[in-house]
Amino acid sequence: MSNSNADALRPQQPIDWNNPRLRVAGLRKHYDQKVVLGGVDLEIYPGQIVALIGSSGSGKSTMLRCINLIEEISDGQIWLEGKDISLASIDQDAVRREIGMVFQSYNLFAHLSILDNITLALRHVQGKSKAEAEQIALGWLDRIGLADKAGSYPDKLSGGQQQRTAIIRAVALNPKVLLLDEVTSALDPELVGEVLELIRDLKATGTTIIMATHELSFARDVADWVVFLDKGVVAEEGEAAEFFANPKQERTREFLTRLQR
């Protein structure tokens, strides 16, 4: 695909470990008395995939929503390419333009065709012409094998096809970080594979991704770094291969055996 944006993301040089793409420090989120995130640190470098794992209610989704500024954080700071995006004075719309997010339930726009779902933000957020936006969108649809569905409406597609559309809808905007919130959890088991395949493909193009997921074997395969959240704090983290091979904490081992059984 020569005309897609993603090729521009391909890392040209080795990772600069002094300049994380995104850095989170001491992130807290409380709802009334309930602590959902109790001070979380995270760093991700260009082209990396970080997998957030943990049981339901461990704060994975909340973490992603805080990074995308959908949730107001209770404490801590977030930097995107060194710029503090957690400042009260920040233009939140401008931040969201640089961070993509995909949800568990796809959330495609029901009144728009597949093509229009993808071109909407390209045209109205990035100000591209209709022709230019459609060229980019069709390039992506072609890449995921859905070019023939461009004119269809979301309810005519399978869950896997909808989710892949939702992912390229976010990726087509060329975000600095892509947040994937349990994107395979709502899918029938036989549809999970095609979505994971797309994520693998995105990794190859150098997209920087933070993904909350229950797919442990997939996380082991594609993630560079794994963060295990337990009750709103990082219980353990490490390089994917090492993390799964030799979990250090007792609760990590417990979680992994519970999910892999």
C-alpha separations of 244 from 212, 223, 238 in Å: 16, 11, 9
Task: State the minimum distance, in angstroms, from the CB of residue 187 to another protein.
Answer: 16
Q: Is 68 in the site for another protein (CB under 8 A)?
A: yes
Within positions 122 to 141, which residues make up the interface with another protein, using CB under 8 A? 124-125
Nearer to another protein, 98 or 142 (CB): 98
Among 5, 74, 77, 107, indicate the residue that binds another protein (CB under 8 A). 107
Nearer to another protein, 92 or 246 (CB): 92
Among 12, 34, 111, 258, indicate the residue that binds another protein (CB under 8 A). 111
Among 93, 127, 258, 261, indicate the residue that binds another protein (CB under 8 A). 93
Task: State the minimum distance, in angstroms, from the CB of residue 210 to another protein.
Answer: 14
Nearer to another protein, 111 or 258 (CB): 111
Among 30, 97, 176, 220, indicate the residue that binds another protein (CB under 8 A). 97
Among 49, 66, 167, 173, indicate the residue that binds another protein (CB under 8 A). 173
Q: Is 149 in the site for another protein (CB under 8 A)?
A: no
Contact code string over 192-231 relative to another protein, x by CB under 8 A = ----------------------------------------
Q: Is 177 in the site for another protein (CB under 8 A)?
A: no
Distance, in Å, from the CA atom of 106 to the CA atom of 163, rounded to the nearest integer, reads: 5
The three-state DSSP-derived secondary structure of the chain is CCCCHHHHHCCCCCCCCCCCCEEEEEEEEEECCEEEEEEEEEEECCCCEEEEECCCCCCHHHHHHHHCCCCCCCEEEEEECCEECCCCCCCHHHHHHHEEEECCCCCCCCCCCHHHHHHHHHHHCCCCCHHHHHHHHHHHHHHCCCHHHCCCCHHHCCHHHHHHHHHHHHHCCCCCEEEEECCCCCCCHHHHHHHHHHHHHHHHCCCCEEEECCCHHHHHHHCCEEEEEECCEEEEEEEHHHHHHCCCCHHHHHHHHHHHC
Among 100, 139, 160, 247, indicate the residue that binds another protein (CB under 8 A). 100
Can you give the binding site for another protein, defined by CB under 8 A? 68, 70, 93-94, 96-101, 103, 105, 107-111, 120-121, 124-125, 166, 169-170, 173
